[in-house]
């Protein structure tokens, strides 16, 4: 079991958007300050039809980025806490199928105090059981 456990639910399609619900659980002994992930959406033939990258926990204000309204700089995921995040992946044209598969990959996780973790060892991503 990973220290950051993520369950990926099936994508829900609406026109040019696919919403991929994530359920995150922090099994670390300290708060997760931020986590960045990419979501790749594939059709039934395995062809990638959309992708997006987002801060799913906290975020980085580098490069003049602004926090979304209502977000505090101290946002994060407390030790032992859980959270949900809806990954929205948009496409330039409507999705031609609703039978999409999502794959989520984490690129960065930062713990309280600024310590980065090895996402290959500390993050477990699994599909939701139907």
For the chain, the C-alpha Rg in angstroms (whole number) is 15
Residue 54 three-state SS: strand
Per residue in 9-63, pLDDT (tens digit) is 999 998 899 999 999 999 999 999 999 999 999 999 999 999 999 999 997 654 4
Per residue in 81-115, pLDDT (tens digit) is 999 999 999 988 888 888 899 999 999 999 999 99
Nearest to 26 by CA among 128, 115, 122, 104: 122
Residue 44 DSSP code: T
Q: What is the pLDDT of residue 1?
A: 57
What is the model's pTM?
Answer: 0.84
Q: Which residue has the higher pLDDT, 8 or 2?
A: 8
C-alpha span between 85 and 106 (Å, rounded): 14
Domain boundaries, the chain: 4-127
Yes or no: is domain 4-127 CATH 3.30.310?
no
């Amino acid at each position: 079991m990973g220290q950051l456990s993520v369950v990926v639910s099936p994508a829900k399609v609406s026109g040019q958007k696919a919403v991929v619900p994530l359920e995150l659980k922090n099994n670390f002994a300290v708060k997760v300050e931020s986590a960045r992930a990419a979501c790749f959406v594939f059709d039934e033939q395995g062809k990638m039809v959309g992708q997006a990258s987002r801060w799913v926990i906290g975020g980085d204000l580098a490069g003049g980025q602004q926090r979304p309204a209502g977000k505090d700089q101290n946002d994060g995921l407390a030790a032992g806490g859980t959270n949900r995040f809806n990954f929205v992946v948009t496409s330039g044209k409507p999705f031609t199928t609703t039978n999409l598969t999502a794959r989520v990959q984490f690129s960065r996780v930062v713990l309280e105090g600024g310590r980065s973790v090895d996402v290959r060892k500390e993050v477990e991503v699994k599909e939701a059981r139907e």
